[in-house]
Amino acid sequence: MIMQIDVEIIQTQFEVSQAQSERNQRASYRYVNQDCEILIGHDSGFDHIAFQVTTGQTDWVSRTSSLDVRGHSISGFNEIWESGAYIIRYPFVNRSEMQQFVVEVIEGIDYSDPIQSSEIIIERWIQIWRNQEPLGREQQMGLFGELSVLEKLISAKNADVVENWTGPEGATHDFEFAPRHIEVKTTGFSEPVLKISSFNQLRPCNPPLFLVMVQLEIGSGRTLPSLVAQIRRTTSSNTTAERLFEMRLERARYNDDHAIRYLTEYGEPRFRFIQIDESVDVLHEDRLDNPVRGLVDLKWSLDSSTLSFEEIEENFWSV
């Protein structure tokens, strides 16, 4: 089930629940909306998200230093909630920082298995929270390259293509469309070496795979935060794209709090591409005569000068 959640309404619901809980000295819950069998609430300094599920009562289990889960009954609604609920809580002082997490949990829960589906979301966010250090110089440059491609795709199509920016979701390729996949690699001009992050990332596939090389030069131009701001303006009129962009940014480890550290300016990017098929001399498992049984994955570097990259025409972006 996928639903669109109004973030401001959610925040208001938490605030009302908190006020009522503090006044009555007990837990206070309310439905997210009339069409949603999810409760949000507050108790003893913690915001709660609760799902109907038949489960025994358990103690709080810490998933992180500030996120706990448990099974428990909730009274005051109906017998279903009294028979069991799965509750996620975090300190209310983290409410603004947890906003995107709450939205994803509510929008992404699978009602047929709320415990397992919420655990998948929690695990993904644990990885995000563990990676909250500022991006290094190479990571900044890589994200700038991906966002430059996203900007081109939005300009050629519309903001809906944010959904096709799949790299931050852990997909094999950075952009996945029905007619083609696009893998973006960013490098400089002097040493155009491309870092390939997995063994089969450049394995020919169906739909066709296009490797896009974005070459950047440090100099007068745009910073990473200014590019992010431009795409935000572009997606601001499309609520779905706007929300997706923020979620993808977070998973790409971009944090506005670190923007002051990202002052490097990049000149106008140069975009070139090559279609990856069986004739292209790159590494993947199909190139091995004798597969290595113990090989799990492999990161490697590619000298781009060995491949016949072509300049990208504007119609390339109209996927």
Domain end among 130, 163, 181 = 130
Q: Are residues 14 and 158 in the same domain?
A: no
Residue 8 and residue 14 in contact, taking contact as beta carbons nearer than 8 Å: no
Residues 37 and 16 in one domain: yes
Looking at the structure, do residues 209 and 268 belong to the same domain, yes or no?
A: yes
Give the pLDDT score at 4: 65
Task: Please name the amino acid found at residue 78.
Answer: N
pTM: 0.66
- How far apart (Å, rounded) are the C-alpha atoms in residues 27 and 41? 7
Predicted pLDDT of residue 255: 87
Strand ranges (E), the chain:
28-33, 36-43, 46-52, 61-64, 67-72, 85-91, 175-176, 181-187, 193-196, 209-215, 218-222, 266, 270-276, 300-303, 310-311
Residues 149, 110, single domain; the answer is no
* Residue among 231, 233, 227 nearest 259 (CA): 227
Q: What is the pLDDT of residue 50?
A: 95
**In whole angstroms, what is the distance from residue 113 CA to residue 117 CA?**
6
Per-residue pLDDT reduced to its tens digit, 221-279: 999 999 999 999 999 999 999 999 998 998 888 988 899 999 999 999 999 999 999 99
- 73 in a domain, yes or no? yes
Residue 1 has pLDDT above 50, yes or no: no
Range with the largest mean pLDDT of 46-50, 66-70, 134-138, 166-170: 46-50
- Rounded to the nearest integer, the mean pLDDT of the chain is 90
One domain for residues 192 and 220? yes
Considering the domain boundaries, does residue 254 fall inside one? Answer: yes
Please give the Cα distance from 247 to 34 (Å, whole number): 25
Point out the domain boundary residue: 68, 97, 130. Answer: 130
Q: Based on C-alpha coordinates, what's the Rg of the chain?
A: 23
172/283 same-domain check? yes
Give pLDDT, residue 210: 98
Total domains, the chain: 2
* Closest listed residue to residue 255, CA positions, set 246, 264, 263, 266: 246
Other residues' Cβ atoms within 10 Å of the Cβ of residue 106: 20
CA dihedral 89, 90, 91, 92 (to 10 degrees): -80
Among 130, 150, 44, 124, CA closest to 87? 44
The domain in which residue 211 lies consists of 137-317
Domain end (from 101, 130, 159) = 130
